[in-house]
Structure 1
């Protein structure tokens, strides 16, 4: 499975910079960049709420799931699949 964040698209549609969004939601530009590039492993509901509020969107506009192979968690690496 692949979860994708469409922050670039929403920012472009709203003609808003990452810096402006950062100021509005109280999240650092660095953390928004991690989210934007798909390197984030989690997002707080309070952050999601703030992003949706400032971008005037629904969570589904920001986050999309596409089918595919399941992600392997670090603690699962090397385990027998039958465990």
Structure 2
């Protein structure tokens, strides 16, 4: 019975560790993403949204000419995954 308790305890700790790692995967702050958007030519921010399932920041805005820009940023590394102008 003692082994079973230890195994179940370890399984619970492992599961909680995975859940907490997922919950804290976002390490790039919204302020950092905002600054990245301005650095890449977005002058009018329309929306910044954290997409938890994909672990990305989605940014929508306009450049100085009024063209729409959509940018996706990896929320863990800060790498720009997508930058699209319309």
Which TM-score bucket, shorter chain as reference? under 0.3
Q: Which has the higher contact order (CA 8 A, sep 6+)?
A: 1
TM-score, normalised via structure 1 length: 0.26
TM-score, normalised via structure 2 length: 0.26
More strand by share: 2
More helix by share: 1
